[in-house]
């Protein structure tokens, strides 16, 4: 069995199979006994249909023979010991259970390269063909959709308002992954997995009996484009001359927000630095201290404020109030509906 790439295939939303018509997928997570990916000792799954979690599963399993020693560092992470799995079903049995509950739906995992790689290696160890499935990575999706210091599952879950009951418990991680994807889909206005991936410029992975292709982002994606400051902006507008940076999701597209403030005379920049005068924080942020918001830009704002640079922190509501000031100058088309 090799990792040869299969021929190009249509995206999920161009097909009629599972996951094409709605938010239907199975979030999975595996825990391993040692540094070998195939040493799977636990499998978690959260089945999502029509945008709702309909079942959750968490199984302990005996790792494949030859990969079944437990390293202390792994035990310290997940708490699973050799005695706990000694009487559990084999990986081959648990794989059948996993495939039964997934019902042909695409997989999603946080850092799918690890989880899918673990399934591949474990299948080889027990002389099983790799299962056939499309898959996506919520880590890659989060990097496209969110602006964080770290994209580890606990940080992404916290950003998305998702409870993570017990990190490194397979069922808990799978459930958190499922809710993260659902929250990203909500923020992006996506009603099916294929459309969400397309909007994020993420290519699905594909696992087949003797071949695989990884989930990855497309190199052609450039994201929103920084606008030029409007030459005819009203110099009396409160945003005129401000150097503005945005972090977190807003109720409007990032590009629309950038274009709007640029028409008011603000300079838009992607990163916080000593020139920044305003940081707009989305995702329903209601405070005024960037230290309370977990993104890289917020952390940099804290850094520069501590050095004496004045950076005003705005909520989305604050921004809307300032944009409304344009109506006093007769310019009414710059406030997004």
Residues 161 and 200 grouped into a single domain: yes
**What is the extent of the structural domain holding 97?**
12-217
Q: What is the C-alpha separation between 270 and 222, in angstroms, rounded? A: 12
Whether residue 156 lies inside any domain: the answer is: yes
Q: What is the C-alpha separation between 11 and 333, in angstroms, rounded? A: 37
Whether residue 251 lies inside any domain: the answer is: yes
Residues 30 and 92 grouped into a single domain: yes
Number of domains in the chain: 2
pTM beyond 0.85: the answer is no
Dihedral sign from CA coordinates of 336, 260, 242, 247: positive
pLDDT per residue as tens, the chain (337 positions): 333 333 333 344 443 333 445 799 999 999 999 999 999 999 999 999 999 999 999 999 999 999 999 999 999 999 999 999 999 999 999 999 999 999 999 999 999 999 999 999 999 999 999 999 999 999 999 989 988 877 889 999 999 999 999 999 999 999 999 999 999 999 999 999 999 999 999 999 999 987 889 998 875 555 568 899 999 998 889 999 999 999 887 888 888 899 999 999 999 998 999 999 999 988 777 777 777 777 778 888 888 888 888 999 998 888 988 888 644 433 334 444 4
Whether residue 111 lies inside any domain: the answer is: yes
CB-based contacts of 179, cutoff 8 Å, min separation 6: 53, 157, 160, 162, 163
Residues 190 and 259 grouped into a single domain: no
For residue 255, what is the domain's CATH number?
3.40.50.10190
The answer to whether residues 193 and 24 touch, using CB atoms and an 8 Å cutoff, is yes
Residues 197 and 56 grouped into a single domain: yes
Whether residue 310 lies inside any domain: the answer is: yes
Whether residue 21 lies inside any domain: the answer is: yes
């Amino acid at each position: 069995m090799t990792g040869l790439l299969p021929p190009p295939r249509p995206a999920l939303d161009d097909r009629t199979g599972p996951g094409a018509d709605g938010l239907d997928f199975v979030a999975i997570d595996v825990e391993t006994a040692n540094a070998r990916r195939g040493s799977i000792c636990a499998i978690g799954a959260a089945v999502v249909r029509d945008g709702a979690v309909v079942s959750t599963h968490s199984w302990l399993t005996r790792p494949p023979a030859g990969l079944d020693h437990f390293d202390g560092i792994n035990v310290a992470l997940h708490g699973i010991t050799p005695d706990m799995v000694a009487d559990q079903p084999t990986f081959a049995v648990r794989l059948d259970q996993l495939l039964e509950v997934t019902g042909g739906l695409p997989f999603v995992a946080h850092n799918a390269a690890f989880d899918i790689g673990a399934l591949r290696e474990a299948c080889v160890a027990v002389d099983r063909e790799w299962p056939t499935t499309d898959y996506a990575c919520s880590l890659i999706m989060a990097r496209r959709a969110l602006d964080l210091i770290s994209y580890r599952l606990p940080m992404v879950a916290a950003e998305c308002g998702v409870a993570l009951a017990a990190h490194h418990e397979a069922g808990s991680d799978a459930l958190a992954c499922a809710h993260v994807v659902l929250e990203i889909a909500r923020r992006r206005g996506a009603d099916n997995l294929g459309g969400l991936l397309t909007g994020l410029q993420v290519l699905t992975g594909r696992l087949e009996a003797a071949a695989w292709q990884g989930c990855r982002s497309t190199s052609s994606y450039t994201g929103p484009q920084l606008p030029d400051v409007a030459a005819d902006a009203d110099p009396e507008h409160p945003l005129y001359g401000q150097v503005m940076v945005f972090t977190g999701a807003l109720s409007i597209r990032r590009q629309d927000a950038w274009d709007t403030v640029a028409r008011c005379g603000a300079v838009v920049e992607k990163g916080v630095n000593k020139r920044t005068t305003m940081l707009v924080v989305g995702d329903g942020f209601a405070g005024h201290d960037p230290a309370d918001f977990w993104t890289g830009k917020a952390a940099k704002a804290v850094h520069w404020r501590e050095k004496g640079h004045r950076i005003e922190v705005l909520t989305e509501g604050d921004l809307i109030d300032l944009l409304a000031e344009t109506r006093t100058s007769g310019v009414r088309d710059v406030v997004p509906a």
